Amino acid sequence: MIEHVYNLGNQLTEDLALSPNFETPSYENLLIIGMGGSGVAGDILKLILNQNSSINVEIKKTYGIPKHIIQNKPKCLFLSYSGNTEETISAVNIAIENELDWFAVSSGGMLLDLAKENNKEFIQVPQGLQPRAALGYMAQAVLHFLPESVDFDLEGECRKVQELIENLMSEKENNETISLAKNIAIKLASKSTVIYGGTELSYLAAQRWKTQINENAKSKAFVGFMPEIHHNEILSWEGNKEDSKNNYQIIFLRDQDENRQIDKRFELTEKIIGDDVEIIEVKSIKSDNSLMKLFYLIFIGDLVSVFMAEHLLIDPYDIANIEALKKMLKEV
C-alpha cells in the first residue's frame, strides 16, 4: 500500500479516458453520490465548488435519491471505483427512472455499462486498485466536471500537488515527512484516534485520516468538527480520565484559513483537556492553493495509516470483513 501513497501525486497528472461525448458541463445544482474511498473524491469536488462558485452541491452517501432532491432536477455525479457499489447503482437507477441528467466516474463495472447504455458522459480511471488507493485518479476525474464558469486551472493545480508530494518525498534517507508520519503512527498504534478539524478543508482531511486508519491499520478512529465539539464532546474526556489517557489519542488538523475564534478554540481545548489525553497537532502548509493544503494533510494521514499497519503487523490490503458483508447482503 505504501507505493500507492507515494504515487498519489502522479495519479493526479496521469491522462484519463474520457467518454467520446465528453463536454465541460454546466449546472446550478449538483448531487454527488459515492461511497467509501470513491466518495472522498466527491467531497473534494464540493470543497472546490464551495470555494469558487455559488453552485448548490449536495452529497449523499447512502441508497437512492430523496424525493425533494429529485424534484429539483439536479445534475447527478455518480462515483464508484469498482463500478458495482450497491448503494451507488441504486441511485443511478432512480436517476434513470426520473430522467435526471447524470455522469459518472469509474474504472468499469455496472456503472460504466449504464453510462454507455444511456449515452452519458463518463471518465474511466485505471483498474486494479482498491478504491482508497485510487484517490488521485478519482479526484482528478471529478475535477474534470467543474463548469467553465468556475475559475480553476485543473492541469496546473494538479501539477502543483504532484510537485508538492515529490518535494515531500525527496531525500528519503532523512525525510522529515516520513519521520513525522512514523512518529505519529507509533503513538496511534495502540490507541483509538479522535481527529478534529476546524474548516471544511481540514474536516475533509480528518475524515480521510479516519477511513484510512480504519481500512489500512484496522484500527478505531473518529472525527469531530470544531466548534461543534465544544457543545458536547469536550465533556466526554471528564468521565473516565484514566481511560482517556491510556486508550485515546487526539489529532488536531490545522488550517491557516481557520476563523480567528476557531484558532482560539483549538488552543483552549488543549488547555482544558490536554492533561487528560495526549494531543498531536498537524498543520497544513501555508498556501493560497486549497488543493495543495488538502493533499498535504491527506498525504500525511495516508502515510500514518500505512505505518500504523506496519507497526501492528497488519496487512493493509485485507478487506475480508467488507467482502464478507457484501456476500451476506446478497444472500439475504
| Span 164-184, pLDDT tens digits | 999 998 876 678 999 999 999
Question: pLDDT tens, 17-59?
Answer: 999 999 999 999 999 999 999 999 999 999 999 999 999 999 9
Nearest to 81 by CA among 122, 115, 111, 120: 111
Percentage of the chain beyond pLDDT 90 is 89
| Cell digits of residue 134 | 485510487
Angle at 145 between CA 141 and CA 147, to 5 degrees: 150
119: burial class by Cβ within 10 Å (0-12, 13-18, 19+)? exposed
How much is the pLDDT for 326? Answer: 86
Same fold, 2-157 and 171-311: yes
CATH superfamily of 2-157: Glucose-6-phosphate isomerase like protein; domain 1 (3.40.50.10490)
How much is the pLDDT for 172? Answer: 63
| Cell digits of residue 87 | 448503494
What is d(CA 242, CA 307) in angstroms, rounded to the nearest whole number? 27
DSSP string, 246-261: HHEEEEEEE-TT--HH
Strands 75-80, 56-60: pairing kind: unpaired
**In one letter, which amino acid is 52?**
N
Distance of CA 201 to the CA centre of its chain: 10
* Mean pLDDT (whole number) for 63-70: 95
How much is the pLDDT for 329? Answer: 87
**In one letter, which amino acid is 212?**
Q
Q: Is 310 strand, coil or helix?
A: helix
What is d(CA 229, CA 5) in angstroms, rounded to the nearest whole number? 31
Q: What is the residue whose three cell numbers read 488552543? A: 267
* Mean pLDDT (whole number) for 180-206: 97
Q: What is the CA radius of gyration of the chain?
A: 20
Q: How many Å from the N-terminal Cα to the C-terminal Cα in the chain?
A: 33
Percentage of the chain beyond pLDDT 70 is 99
Torsion sign (Cα): 224, 227, 230, 231 = negative
Instruction: Find residue 248's DSSP bridge partners.
Output: 192
* Mean pLDDT (whole number) for 1-15: 93
Please report, to the nearest 10 degrees, the dihedral formed by the alpha carbons of residues 41, 42, 47, 49 taken in order: 120
**In one letter, which amino acid is 306?**
V
Domain limits of the chain? 2-157, 171-311
CATH architecture of 171-311: 3-Layer(aba) Sandwich (3.40)
User: Nearest 5°: phi and psi at 316?
Assistant: -65, -20
User: Nearest 5°: phi and psi at 140?
Assistant: -60, -40
154: burial class by Cβ within 10 Å (0-12, 13-18, 19+)? middle
| Cell digits of residue 234 | 469536550
